Amino acid sequence: MSTKRDYYEVLGVQKNATADEIKSQYRKLALKFHPDRNKSHDAAEHFKEVSEAYAVLSDTEKRKLYDSYGHSGVDGRYSTEDIFQGSKVNFEDIFGSGFESIFENLFGGGGRGFRFGGFDFGFGGERGADLVYDTEITLEDVLRGKQEEIDLPGEIECGDCKGTGATPGTSMRTCSVCNGYGQVRTSRSSGFSTFVTVQPCNTCKGHGKIIERPCSKCKGSGKQKGTRHFSFEIPSGIESGEYRIKGQGESKSSGISGDLIVRIQVKPHGKFKRDGADLFYDENISMIDATLGKKLVVPTLEGTEKIDVEAGSQPNTIIKLRGKGLPHQGSRSRGDQYVRLVVNIPKKIDKHQRKLLEELQDRLKEE
Ligand SMILES: [Zn+2]
Ligand SMILES: [Zn+2]
């Protein structure tokens, strides 16, 4: 068993740090280590470590316990779940609304484990595997958003026992060890303090009920292999990358499911190049049009747009179509489309054209 590091050391603050100092230091570290942003292999461990340290030190009572008795003072009195649940009110405050998507379902999950910032703090239960789903989308999908419908390998209710895990017609009895709660509390006194530990009941494996005759098809699990349909919205404005949908991976009887990792690749477009929410488009015009000016119709992602090429336009002039780009992620506002005028100089001209140009040249010299 590894020794836990000192919480103050983990956050890099002094023992007498104020609540504000602790909060700002945690924000910094949590953003640094959050695995949605940090791809190094030990980011998850660091994230858990700083989050636990923050959960304890941001709570006056827990911090007092920790200051007086160290790790054993806190661990003896609170389960891991209690440590985090007690601080949940602070997290929105810490990350602000901009981080809602990363931290959504912070405390969802339930069962015997719980989730925090995309991590399972289970009570020894096995976590389901992550599933990976690859998809390619077009720039038009990025403009409008896209509904994805997928089938995932998963567990469905056992058809024989209808999910109860018991042979049809037989009964289940309430576990007498935990009285059906699925958890066992043990308390132990030490000096002036009483430490309460909550653990899953061993006898019923946390289910609260005992199956007398397990269903032969599913061996008492109540589940069988199957596919499950899942649909989700790819939001407009999204960039290529990996996105995590919490709890939609493989499910486990521990109640701790893995995540679904969606790898999105935005396909290159035949006409437009993308930079964030802005689109870039090259329009070829002749040197005559650049000189004389012209009304043009250029494509946009949604249709077409009229533009005026002014007389005397220079090569690489950029014309901005305001609001014709892609939506900014998580916002209604849109980027712009930039039309670059590429002036084509003729590579071959015939005798007659040459004569005309030379005449023009002479005229320009006279001016
Ligand atoms: Zn029990
Ligand atoms: Zn069954």
- 57, 45, 43: which is closest to 11 by C-alpha? 57
What is the distance between the alpha carbons of residues 83 and 48, in angstroms, rounded to a whole number? 12
What distance in angstroms lies between residue 214's CA and the mean position of ligand 1's atoms? 16
- The pLDDT tens digits for 177-187 are 888 888 888 77
> What is the number of the ligand closest to the CA of 204?
1
Instruction: Supply 282's token pair.
Output: 């090259």
**For residue 238, what pLDDT band results from cuts at 50, 70 and 90?**
very high
Who has greater pLDDT, 330 or 341?
A: 341
Distances 122 to 89, 349, 364 between C-alpha atoms, Å = 21, 77, 82
Query: Lowest-confidence range among 123-132, 201-210, 285-294, 295-304?
Result: 123-132
What distance in angstroms lies between residue 168's CA and the mean position of ligand 2's atoms? 8
> What is the number of the ligand closest to the CA of 184?
1
Which ranges constitute the DSSP H helices of 16-70? 19-33, 43-57, 60-69
Q: State the distance between the two ends of the chain, measured CA to CA, in whole angstroms.
A: 91
Is beta strand 223-234 parallel, antiparallel or unpaired with respect to 318-321? Answer: unpaired
Q: Where are the domains of the chain?
A: 7-155+223-266, 273-366
* Rounded (5°) CA angle 27-33-35: 120
What distance in angstroms lies between residue 322's CA and the mean position of ligand 1's atoms? 64
Q: Tokens 């509390």 appear where?
A: 185
Q: How many CB atoms lie within 10 A of CB 111?
A: 19
What distance in angstroms lies between residue 163's CA and the mean position of ligand 2's atoms? 6
> What is the number of the ligand closest to the CA of 167?
2
What is the distance between the alpha carbons of residues 183 and 123, in angstroms, rounded to a whole number? 11
- 15, 29, 168: which is closest to 95 by C-alpha? 29
Query: Lowest-confidence range among 26-30, 116-120, 153-157, 268-272?
Result: 116-120
What is the distance between the alpha carbons of residues 128 and 234, in angstroms, rounded to a whole number? 24
Who has greater pLDDT, 72 or 123?
A: 72
Q: Tokens 């990025």 appear where?
A: 142
> What is the number of the ligand closest to the CA of 201?
1
What is the distance between the alpha carbons of residues 213 and 267, in angstroms, rounded to a whole number? 54
Domain 273-366, CATH: 2.60.260.20
- The pLDDT tens digits for 274-329 are 999 999 999 999 999 999 999 999 999 999 999 999 999 999 999 999 999 999 98
| Range 248-264 average pLDDT | 81
Residue 95: its pLDDT value, please?
55
What distance in angstroms lies between residue 206's CA and the mean position of ligand 1's atoms? 6
- Rounded to the nearest integer, the mean pLDDT of the chain is 82
For domain 7-155+223-266, the CATH class is mainly beta
| Range 121-134 average pLDDT | 71
What is the distance between the alpha carbons of residues 3 and 12, in angstroms, rounded to a whole number? 18
Distances 132 to 103, 129, 177, 261, 263 between C-alpha atoms, Å = 20, 10, 40, 5, 7
What distance in angstroms lies between residue 224's CA and the mean position of ligand 2's atoms? 7
- Common-topology check for domains 7-155+223-266 and 273-366: yes
What distance in angstroms lies between residue 200's CA and the mean position of ligand 1's atoms? 8
- The pLDDT tens digits for 85-108 are 655 434 545 554 444 333 333 333
Residue 115, pLDDT above cutoff 70 = no
- 128, 153, 119, 283: which is closest to 227 by C-alpha? 153
- Specify burial of residue 175 (Cβ count, 10 A radius: 0-12, 13-18, 19+): buried
Residue 91: its pLDDT value, please?
53
What is the distance between the alpha carbons of residues 89 and 148, in angstroms, rounded to a whole number? 33
What distance in angstroms lies between residue 176's CA and the mean position of ligand 2's atoms? 23
What is the distance between the alpha carbons of residues 147 and 132, in angstroms, rounded to a whole number? 17
Q: Which amino acid does the sequence have at 179?
A: N
What is the distance between the alpha carbons of residues 53 and 6, in angstroms, rounded to a whole number? 8
Q: Kind and range of the H or E element at 102? A: none
What distance in angstroms lies between residue 123's CA and the mean position of ligand 2's atoms? 26
Q: Which amino acid does the sequence have at 123?
A: F
What is the distance between the alpha carbons of residues 153 and 252, in angstroms, rounded to a whole number? 13
